[in-house]
Structure 1
Amino acid sequence: MQAYLFVHFKEKRTPDGEQVYFGVSKNGFDWEEVNGGDPVLWSYFGDKGVRDFTITRTKEGKFVILATDLSLSYGMLNQYNHSWAKAARYGSKSLAMWQSNDLVNWSEQKMVQLGDDDFGCVWAPDIIYDKNNNDYVIHWSSSHSSNEYGFKGIYYSRTKDFENFSKAQLLIKKEDSGIIDSAMYEEDGKYYLFLKSEQNPGKIILMKSDSITGPFERIHSFDQSMETVEAGQYEAPTAVRLDDGRWCLFLDFYGCSAEEQGYVPFIADRLANGEFIRSDQSFTFPYGYKHGTILAITIEEYERLKSYKKLPSEY
């Protein structure tokens, strides 16, 4: 039996929202807050705020969190002049990183620069282990000088140790739209890549490849699963394989107030067929929360996180 950890942030207008929060669940549907609903980790470097988390368990058993280095609370007014376009063009080229052996005791925050002067902001990382190459592929969305910082594409870097990183390369782009919020999973030796397409359609799409680095082809049956999902209202896909073998895909719904924002679950028997059924009624979370990643954990790890409490003086 396994449990689940959701690493996320809160879309608040105060700096405490753009920090690292944990939620836990025994079944993947009914979620409980960790640390009394307060942040587990706090960002003190870069923009001093973090969003769009990913977490992985390495083959050695270490946990790694990566996040977008961006604070709208601090920066949207005085640094980016209320402009998402400026944040995308001139935002951080680095990701914030923390590491842990037990999900409770974390290393100090480290800034990992993956973009160079040709990149805009490095957004929304995701990590997948490449068993064929025995390393980890970190992929993210960015604008780039190659198309005059127009439509965003997905780029990637490889690492074996989360200390040394290869030069960024293009993973995939879409000619008629920007693509962001990539999330990749392996099933039966194939790789499935969820993306938010910003236009044509303005929805989540699903791609498939024999290789982690592509080339990718579109799974059109998934488009049919998204037919009733409102365009321009969902982002940040994250998925997890449940105990019974089904996949649960969560999409972040932002077509409401910040306090109400949160994920909507969709269930599929297999990624390969692209057929997902919306399952709102089976899902609960104790507060509004934003863009993150789900990780399968052990019951022992679940119990450890449930009893975790961090004092304000310990940040």
Structure 2
Amino acid sequence: MSESPLLTRRALLGMTAAVPLTLALGTGTAHAADSAYAMVYFTESTNLGDGTDYGLHLAVSPDGLNWTPLNQNNPLATPTAGALGLRDPFLMRKQDGTFVVLATDLKGTDWSYNSQYIHVWDSADLRTLTGYRRLKLHDMSTHSWAPEAFWDAGRGQYAVIYSSVNNSGHNVIMVNYTSDFVTASAPQVFFDPGYDVIDGDMAVGVNGYNYLYYKKNQTLVSARSTSLAPGSFTEFSGGVAHGGTEAPTLVKSLASGTWWLWGDTYTPNGVFYAWQSSNLASGTWTALDQKTYTQPVNSKHCGITTITTTEYNNLLAKWGAPAWNRLKSYNFPARYVRHSNYAARIDEYPVEPYKDSLWTLAPGLADSSGVSFRSVNYPTRYLRHYNYALRLDENDGTSTFAADATFHRTAGLADAGWASFRSYNNPTRYIRHSNYVLRIDPISTATERQDATFRVGY
């Protein structure tokens, strides 16, 4: 399959054109209480090694932009039938308020593997996944990639859309209808513009239109229709891309009229990019500054839906936030703090090996009110300054090492919502990057303040 994500139609389900989008969630009632977001995904590292897992992963976010992986970024469930792995998970709240998860029946990158089935789980609250099964969609000797679903109120059923090759000879978006995600109707062609398309993602009932975003020639483009009928969608807008991009995911902000469009680069350990628009009818998107969003490490082809504050808190309580952090550069937000040959620097995501960019923020070795940065993959080593350069050294137990490896976290020098780190034993100096290498320096200029500012996230 193309490495396409199936995205999240956020809970635009259950709405008709007459229902305001901000209230649409799919229980038949307004989910005005929704205040946070959940993301499902799988993981791939750059070399398909450590950090690659074709199980179901889950992250949460209060703002829909910066994500906390749950369960230490380990899977919550792994398929036990078919290919014994998944790609392209999709998450939706159903009409009764519970959730359903769909995913491609495929493990790894064997695109010659053809499954007529997709994986399905049910969940009352995302804290437990039940009823695992596979749903058969067709009898063709071809695949069923990137399944997603939406509520078709006119039919009183869910539409399951996915990418497959029918007698046209190229990938089209197919559709089956179901009431229970146990059995489904015969497949129909939902959208075939005459060229290869995959990774369909829907927004239903937006000011009288239904929007279908999909991947065309490594670009995210859209079609729209006033109907949900198969064959009714026509190409609508030009595309957005950042290199080869796939897996469009449309998300409506809960705090404003803004829409976000997520896309995933067509590589293992793909990089997520995001665009925003205030009006889907305009067909225009503006790239978001990477300072504003952070994907879960190693995440691929995500699906996103909205959740309540209670659900958000319960998920964190159940699965826990990671015991480690990543530090993103403020003025080079594609880069993260990592160690390489024991030197500290900022490098572009994805970092290989990825654990070089994971840090345990421990109580300061010289002052517990401060912080020391312990390496996740070299846990006896800490970042310390030596001749003002930062490097990863073994803790020798001396007071000098403890002082060199201790820093006081302050409000970010360039942005108070971020963080800066002042040296414990050289208190006029802060951690900053210079030519991508980390050191401690006095800070005076605007550029130096940006160099010394980092986002502590996951």
Would you call these one fold, judging by a TM-score over 0.5? yes
Give 1:262 deviation, angstroms. 3.0
Q: Which residue of 1 aligns with 2:138?
A: 115
> Percent identity over the alignment?
29
Deviation of 1:16 after TM superposition, in Å, equals 5.7
Q: For residue 2 of structure 1, what is the aligned residue in structure 2? A: 35
Instruction: String of CA shifts for 1:174-199, please: whole Å, max 9, x gaps.
Output: 32x2100000112123110001013x
Question: Is 2:178 the counterpart of 1:159?
Answer: yes
Quote how far apart the aligned CAs of 1:133 are.
Answer: 2.0
> Which of the numbers 136, 142, 147 marks the counterpart of 1:125?
147
Question: Is residue 206–residue 218 contact of structure 1 (8 Å, CA) maintained in 2?
Answer: yes
Shift of 1:274: 1.1
User: 1:23 Cα shift?
Assistant: 1.0
2:97 corresponds to: 61
Query: SS of the residue aligned with 1:19?
Result: strand
Matches of 2:266 and 2:73 in 1, distance apart? 20
Out of 174, 186, 200, the position equivalent to 1:182 is: 200
RMSD: 1.8
Aligned to 1:209: 225
Return the alpha-carbon distance in structure 2 between the equivalents of residues 162 and 95 of structure 1: 10
Aligned to 2:271: 262
Once the two structures are TM-superposed, the CA of residue 230 in structure 1 deviates from its matched residue by 4.4
Which structure is richer in relative contact order (CA contacts within 8 A, separation 6 or more)? 1
1:164-175 to structure 2, matched below 5 A, reads: 164-175=183-194
The reply to whether residue 278 of structure 1 matches residue 315 of structure 2 is no
Question: Equivalent of 1:303, from 302, 305, 313?
Answer: 313
Counterpart position of 1:80? none
How does 1:76-87 map onto structure 2 within 5 Å? Answer: 76=110, 84=111, 86-87=112-113
TM-score w.r.t. structure 1 length? 0.84
Gaps of 5+ in 2: 1-33, 321-458
2:388 corresponds in structure 1 to none
AA partner of residue 100 (structure 1): S
Question: Does the C-alpha gap of structure 1 residues 188 and 18 become closer, same or farther in structure 2, counting only changes over 3 Å?
Answer: same
Structure 2 counterpart of 1:94, from 117, 121, 128 = 117
Q: Is residue 2:129 matched to residue 1:106?
A: yes
Alpha-carbon distance between aligned partners in 2 of 1:272 and 1:308, rounded to the nearest angstrom: 40
Which residues of 2 match residues 237-248 of structure 1 at below 5 A?
A: 237-243=248-254, 244-248=256-260
Q: What is the CA–CA distance in structure 2 between the aligned matches of 1:270 and 1:121, rounded to whole Å?
A: 34
Task: Report what 2:16 is aligned to.
Answer: none
Alignment partner for residue 22 of structure 1, among 55, 58, 73?
58
31-40 or 11-20: bigger deviation: 11-20
Contact 2:220 2:245 in 1 (8 A): yes
Secondary structure of the corresponding residue to residue 297 of structure 2: coil
1:291 aligns with 2:314: no
CA distance in 2, matches of 1:184, 1:119: 26
CA contact (8 A) 1:54 1:126 kept: yes
Paired residue type of 2:132: Q
Taking a change above 3 Å as real, the CA distance of residues 215 and 286 of structure 1, as seen in their structure-2 partners, is closer
The answer to whether the 8 A contact 2:136-2:183 is kept is no
Q: 1:211 corresponds to which letter in structure 2?
A: S
TM-score (norm. length: structure 2): 0.59
Q: Larger Cα Rg: Structure 1 or Structure 2? A: 2
Q: Is the 8 A contact 1:45 1:109 kept in 2?
A: no
Q: Distance in 1 between matches of 2:291 and 2:276?
A: 12
1:184-241: CA deviations, max 9, x gaps?
112123110001013xxx4111100011234112223x43xx2xx345x100001111
- Name the SS for the 2:97 alignment partner: coil
Shift of 1:163: 2.4
Does the Cα contact within 8 Å between 2:276 and 2:286 map onto a contact in 1?
Answer: yes
Equivalences for residues 30-49 of structure 1 within 5 A: 30-49=66-85
CA contact (8 A) 2:100 2:122 kept: yes
Is 1:191 matched up with 2:201? no
Q: CA separation of 1:161/1:216 partners in 2, compared to 1, >3 Å: closer, same or farther?
A: same
Matched, 1:135 2:157: yes
**Which letter does structure 2 place at the counterpart of 1:252?**
D
* Distance in 2 of aligned mates of 1:281 and 1:254: 22
1:178 and 1:188 map into 2 onto residues whose CA distance is 29
How far apart, in 2, do the equivalents of 1:182 and 1:36 lie?
30
Give the SS at the match of 2:318.
coil
State the alpha-carbon separation in 1 of the partners of residues 221 and 59 from structure 2.
26
Instruction: Kindly state the Cα deviation for residue 301 of structure 1 after the two structures are TM-superposed.
Output: 0.7
Which structure features the higher share of helix residues? 1
Equivalent residue pairs, number: 280
Residue 119 (structure 1) shift: 4.3
Deviation of 1:290 after TM superposition, in Å, equals 0.5
